[in-house]
């Protein structure tokens, strides 16, 4: 089973809040979209901070 971060681009308001709390510097706000650019440890901190609920740590079989 693996865990990963899912970005819901339809919900995201590209505000950068998640970027600033990520301990791994994994996220990048590029222009008008958010992108997972580097290694993510699926800690879920960014998903907590998101004002709009656009991030989710999902578990996959």
Partner 1 sequence: MKNNYDILVIGGGPAGALAAKTAADAGNSVCLIEKRPAIGTPVRCAEGIGKELLKEFIKPDPRWIAADIERARIISPNGTAISLEQDKAGNEVGYVLDRKIFDRELVWQAAEAGADVIVKTRATAPIMENGAVRGAKVLSVGTPADIRAEVVIAADGTEAQFARRAGLDTVVPLREMMSCAQYLMTDIDIDAGSTDFYLGNEIAPEGYLWVFPKGDRTANVGIGISGRKSRDGSRAKDYLDRFVAKNFPNGKTIEAIAGGVPVCRPLACTVADGLMVAGDAARVVDPITGGGIGNAMLTGRLAAQVASECIAAGNCSKEALMPYDAGWRASKMGTILERNYKVKEYFVTLDDAKLNTLAESIAQSSLKEFSVLALIKELITRNPKMLLELKALRDTLS
Q: Minimum CB separation from partner 1 for residue 46, in Å?
A: 9
Size of the chain, expressed as the number of residues it contains: 61
What are residue 3's DSSP bridge partners?
59
13 close to 52: Cβ distance less than 8 angstroms: yes
Is residue 50 within the footprint of partner 1 (CB under 8 A)? yes
Q: How far is the CB of 57 from ligand SF4 (least distance, A)?
A: 6
Q: Is residue 31 a contact point for partner 1 (CB under 8 A)?
A: yes
Cβ atoms of 46 and 24 closer than 8 Å: no
Binds 48: which of partner 1, ligand SF4, none (CB < 5-8 Å by kind): partner 1
From CA 2, how far away is CA 26, in angstroms rounded? Answer: 17
Q: Which residues bind partner 1 (CB under 8 A)?
A: 13-23, 25, 28-32, 45, 48-53
């Amino acid at each position: 089973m693996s865990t990963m971060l899912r970005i819901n681009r339809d919900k995201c308001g590209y505000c950068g809040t998640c970027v600033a709390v990520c301990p791994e510097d994994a996220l990048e706000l590029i222009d008008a979209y958010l992108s997972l650019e580097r290694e993510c440890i699926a800690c879920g901190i960014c998903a907590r901070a998101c004002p709009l609920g656009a991030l989710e740590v999902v578990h996959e079989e």
